[in-house]
Structure 1
Amino acid sequence: MDRALLWFRDDLRLDDHPALQELLRLGLAPVPVYVHDPEGEGAWAPGAASNAWRARSLLALDAALRARGSRLQVLHGPAQEVLPRVLAASGIRVLRWHRRYEPALQARDAALKQALRGAGIDAQSRNGALLAEPWDVRTQAGEPYRVFTPFWRALQAAWRWPALQPAPDALPPPPDLPEAQPVQALARALAPARGWDAGFWQAWTPGEAGAQAALARFLQGALADYAQARDFPDRPGTSRLSPHLHFGEIAPWRVAHAVRAAAAGGGEAYLRELGWREFGYHLLHHFPHTPEANFNPRFDAFPWAADAPALLRAWQRGRTGIPIVDAGMRELWHTGWMHNRVRMIAGSLLTKHLRQHWRHGARWFWDTLVDADLANNTLGWQWVAGTGADAAPYHRVFNPVLQAQRFDPDGAYIARWVPELAGLPPARRHAPWEGGAPPRGYPAPIVDLARGRAEALAALEAIRRG
C-alpha cells in the first residue's frame, strides 16, 4: 500500500477528519506527523496556556493512533523546510493537511503548497475547522460581511450539514520518518516546568475523548436552558467546548449535528454562537490586519491613555478592587478560561474605564487562555473596545457593579474566586467599598467608575469632533 503524509495541526482528532478520510478512500496508508514550528506563526506563536493544553492533546492523539496500530511522529523546524526534506527522504509523494486561517500561516501554506507541487508532490489542503470557508460566504455584491446578523443568515444558507465520519477502527503501522522524534519529548517541552497549570486539569480534559465528554455533558445539562443561563457565571450554563473546538478535538459540524438532534430549548441560541465563531474567521481572513490594528479606522485617532503598567498588572492579577472583574481574572489565572459575560465586563473596564489599548488585553488573553484563538480573540477584543466589526458602540460602557448585580445576583461567583469577599453579605459583594471599607487584604478600586466612564466618553467625543 502506498503511503501519504498526514500533517496534523489544530485538528487533533480522528473522528470527522476530512484529510484522513480522503487518504483512506484513495487507498493510501496515512503516516501521521506533527510539525513543531512556533516561529512559523509569526507574532502570534501559541501562548503558555495554549502550549500546556497542546502538550496533553498531542499525547491523547498519539494514544488514539496507537490504539489503532499507528502513532504520531514529531518533526521540528520551519514547515516549509522540514516537510519537503522528509518527503524526499522517505519517498512519499502525497501530503494532506487541514487549512488554518491565521494570516502568517495562510501565506506560508500557499508558498509551501506551490513549492511541493513544483517538486511533483500531490499536496492538498482541506477544511477541517469551519462550517463554511471564509471565502464562500459573501454579500450579493461579492464583498465580505461586516455585520453578524446578515452573515449568519448567509452562513445558514451556505452550509450543507456534512455527514459524520467516525474514526477508522484500525490504521496501518507507519515507517520511521527521518528526523522524527516521539511526541512525548515535545509534550515535556511544551508543559510548564513549574506546574502552574495544575488548576487547569481540575476543570479540563484535553483530547478528543475529553471533547466528546464535554459535549455529552452539555447536551444532557446546560443546553436546555442555554439561551438564558449562558450569561450567568455562577452556574454551569455554557458548553465549555471552546478549547476543544480551537484545537480541533471535535469538529464544529459534529457539535451542530448533536445540538440540532437534541431539539432542546437552547439549541438555536447555541448554533448562533457557533456562527459567531465562524464570523471571527471570516473577518480574520478578509481583514488580516485586525489582530494588530483597528477594524474601524476612525479609532486610529482615539486618545488612549498612556500605558500604565501598574494598572495593567492589577487588572491581570485580579487586584482592581472591582469584584466581578477580579473574579474573572482569577478564574482565568487558575483555570485557563473565563466566562464570556465576564470577559466582556473585564474587557470593558480595561478599554473604557482605564482607557488602555485593547491590544494589551488581547495579548494577555492570548497567553493565558486555553481557548486562545486568533480569530475569536481579535473579534472579542475589538467588539468590546468598540473598534471592530459589528462592535458594541464605544459609548456602551459596562457598569461592572450593575453587571454583577444582574448576572451574579447572590455574589456566588465573586465569593468563589475572590474569597476575601466571601464573608460579606451577598448584596455587599458587588461593591464592597459602599457602606464601609473593603475587607482587609482586598484593594480599593483602582478607578472611580463614574469618572472613568466620563473620561472614556469625552475621548470618544474628541475623535468625533476631529
Structure 2
Amino acid sequence: MYVSVVLFTADLRLHDHPPLRAALQGGRQVVPLFVHDRGVADAGFAVPNRMAFLADCLRDLDDELRGRGGRLVVRSGDVVEEVCKVAAEADADEVHLAADVSAYAQRRERRLRRALEAEGRRVHFHDTVTTAVAPGTVTPASSDHFAVFTPYFRHWSTQRLRDALGVPRTIRVPEGVGSEELPSRAAVQGVSPGLATGGEREARRRLAAWLRSGADAYEEGRDDLGDDATSRLSPHLHFGTLSPVEVVQRAGVADNPGARAFVRQLAWRDFHRQLLAARPGASTADYRTKRDRWRSERTARADIEAWREGRTGYPVVDAAMRQLRHEGWMHNRGRLLTASFLTKTLYVDWRVGARHFLDLLVDGDVANNQLNWQWVAGTGTDTRPNRVLNPVTQAKRYDPDGAYVRRWVPELRDVRAGAIHEPWKLEGLERATAGDYPDPLITLADGLARFRQARGRE
C-alpha cells in the first residue's frame, strides 16, 4: 500500500483541499500532519490569539478527519525534520502541501525539497490553496508582478478559477505514526477576551450566514464602523478554514454590487501575495522608499504607548485600538485610521505598528499585514503615498452618531453625538461628561506639518 503525507499549514480544512485530494489518489493511505513550527515561534509569530484560534482549528480538523476514518498527527519542532521523520515512520514515498509566498516559507520549501529528494521521496507544492489565483499567474508584460492593484484586479477578474473540490468520504491513516496531544485554547495564556472561535465548521457557518444576509449590503455598509457590516471571515481565510477559491465562487454567484465589492477585497489578498512572492524583502523593508527619517522608538516612546493603549485623545483611533486588544481583530476602516495616525500624524515607523498588529491580530499574516501597513505609510503600492487620513473627518463620516466610539471608549459614553469625535472642544459641565479621557497627543495641524516637512512637501 502506497502512503502519502499531507502537511497542513495555513489550510486547516477538508473542503476544497487540493493537496489532500492529490495525496489520496490511487487509493493511497494518508498521514494528515501538522507541525508546530519552531521557526515561527522563534520569530515571535506564535502569539496567544493566533495560538488559541489555531487550537480550535486543529481540534475541529481532527474531529472532521475522525469522522472519515482518519486522524490528525501533530508534531513540534523543525518542520523539515519532522516531515522527514513522519515520512520515514509511515514509509511514505511522497509529501503534499500548499505553496506559500513569504521569504521564510520559500526557504522552508527549498529545504524540504532537498531533504525529501535526498531520501528518494517526492514533494508536491500545490497552488490555489491559500489564494484564488496563484502568484505569478497574472503578470504585466514588463515585470514579474503588478505593483498597482487596479490593473492587477482587471487581469485577475478574467482568470477562470479551478473547480472547488469536495470532501473525501474516507481517509485511511497507516498505523504506527505517533502524535502529540492536540493543543487546547484553554491552555493558552494572554488571549483577548473577545477572540472569535476557530475551526472549519464555524468558518462554513459564518460564510453561509454572511452570503445569506450580509453580502448584498456590503458595498454601501463595509466602512460603517458602528454597524460593522464586514464579513469577519479574515481569520478563517488566514488559517485556511475557508478556501479562497470556494469563497470567490460562492460570492460571485450573487453578481450584485455588494458581492462584487466583497470579491474585490479577496483579490486584494491575492494581490499582496503575488507582490510578496516577487519581493519577499517587502515584509521588512520599504517597497518604495521615501527615505523617511522616522522618529525613533526611544524619542516617540510615550506616543507609541498611548497609541497602543488607545489613549491618543482621538476617539475613533482609540476605539479601534481597544477593539484590537479586546477581540484580536479590528474593523478594516479602523486599521486604515490607526495606521495613518501612527505613521503620518505621529510620524512613527510603519514597522512599529505592523509588529503590534501582528502581536494581537488573529488574522495577522505577513503579506496582508505588512503590505497594508506599507500602503498606508506611503512606502508601498499606494499611488498617493502622501495622503493623510483625518481621524475626525473620517469618524464623522463612518461613525456619525458615535456608536463605535461609545462601544469601545466608555469614558465618552455620555458625550452628545455632535461632540463625541472632538471632546477636547467641550467646556464646563459638558467637559466633565468625558471623564478622564485624555487631550490629543498632538494637533492634527501640527502632525500634518511635521509629516509634510519630513517628506519634503513644504
TM-score normalised by structure 2 residue count: 0.94
Quick check: 1:182 aligned with 2:181?
yes
Aligned to 1:72: 72
Aligned to 1:13: 13
Change (3 A) 1:86 1:171: closer
Structure 2, unaligned runs of 5 or more: none
Distance 1:7 1:19 in 2: 8
Are the counterparts in 2 of residues 327 and 417 from structure 1 also a CA contact under 8 Å?
Answer: yes
Structure 1, unaligned runs of 5 or more: none
Of 375, 378, 391, which residue of structure 1 is paired with 2:367?
Answer: 375
Distance 1:218 1:379 in 2: 26
State the shift of 1:42 in Å.
Answer: 6.5
Change (3 A) 1:263 1:151: closer
Of 445, 453, 456, which residue of structure 2 is paired with 1:458?
Answer: 453
Larger mean Cα displacement after TM superposition, 252-261 or 306-315: 306-315
Distance 1:269 1:347 in 2: 23
Change (3 A) 1:234 1:174: farther
Aligned to 2:149: 148
Aligned to 1:334: 326
After superposition, residues 231-250 of structure 1 pair within 5 angstroms as: 231-250=223-242
Distance 1:176 1:255 in 2: 37
Aligned to 1:23: 23
Change (3 A) 1:220 1:264: farther
State the shift of 1:129 in Å.
Answer: 0.8
Quick check: 1:344 aligned with 2:336?
yes
Distance 1:137 1:44 in 2: 33
Are the counterparts in 1 of residues 147 and 381 from structure 2 also a CA contact under 8 Å?
Answer: yes
Distance 2:187 2:350 in 1: 28
Give the letter for the 2:411 counterpart: E
State the shift of 1:193 in Å.
Answer: 2.4
Aligned to 2:380: 388
Write out the 4+ residue segments of structure 1 that deviate beyond 3 Å after TM superposition.
40-44
State the shift of 1:40 in Å.
Answer: 5.2
The root-mean-square deviation of aligned C-alpha atoms, in Å, is 1.8
Aligned to 1:106: 106
Larger mean Cα displacement after TM superposition, 39-48 or 285-294: 39-48
State the shift of 1:100 in Å.
Answer: 1.8
Larger mean Cα displacement after TM superposition, 239-248 or 139-148: 139-148
Aligned to 1:411: 402
Of 204, 213, 216, which residue of structure 2 is paired with 1:221?
Answer: 213
Give the letter for the 1:428 counterpart: A
Distance 2:112 2:383 in 1: 36
Aligned to 1:353: 345
Distance 1:293 1:42 in 2: 20
Larger mean Cα displacement after TM superposition, 323-332 or 167-176: 167-176
Change (3 A) 1:42 1:277: farther
Quick check: 1:422 aligned with 2:413?
yes
State the shift of 1:44 in Å.
Answer: 5.9
Distance 1:379 1:292 in 2: 10
Q: How many residues align?
A: 451
Distance 1:176 1:11 in 2: 25
State the shift of 1:265 in Å.
Answer: 3.0
Partner of 1:166, secondary structure, is coil
Distance 1:26 1:145 in 2: 39
Larger mean Cα displacement after TM superposition, 272-281 or 110-119: 110-119
* Percent of aligned pairs sharing the same letter: 39
Partner of 1:181, secondary structure, is coil
Aligned to 2:443: 448
State the shift of 1:368 in Å.
Answer: 0.4
Aligned to 1:254: 246
State the shift of 1:2 in Å.
Answer: 2.4
Of 257, 265, 273, which residue of structure 1 is paired with 2:265?
Answer: 273
- Map Cα deviations across residues 108-164 of structure 1 (whole Å, 9 max, x no partner): 21221122123210211112111222122211134311111111112223x322212
Distance 2:341 2:445 in 1: 12
Distance 1:111 1:219 in 2: 41
State the shift of 1:11 in Å.
Answer: 0.4
Are the counterparts in 2 of residues 72 and 182 from structure 1 also a CA contact under 8 Å?
Answer: no
Are the counterparts in 2 of residues 383 and 392 from structure 1 also a CA contact under 8 Å?
Answer: no
Distance 1:449 1:35 in 2: 47
Change (3 A) 1:43 1:283: farther
Quick check: 1:81 aligned with 2:81?
yes
TM-score normalised by structure 1 residue count: 0.93
State the shift of 1:333 in Å.
Answer: 0.7
Partner of 2:14, secondary structure, is coil
Are the counterparts in 1 of residues 214 and 229 from structure 2 also a CA contact under 8 Å?
Answer: yes
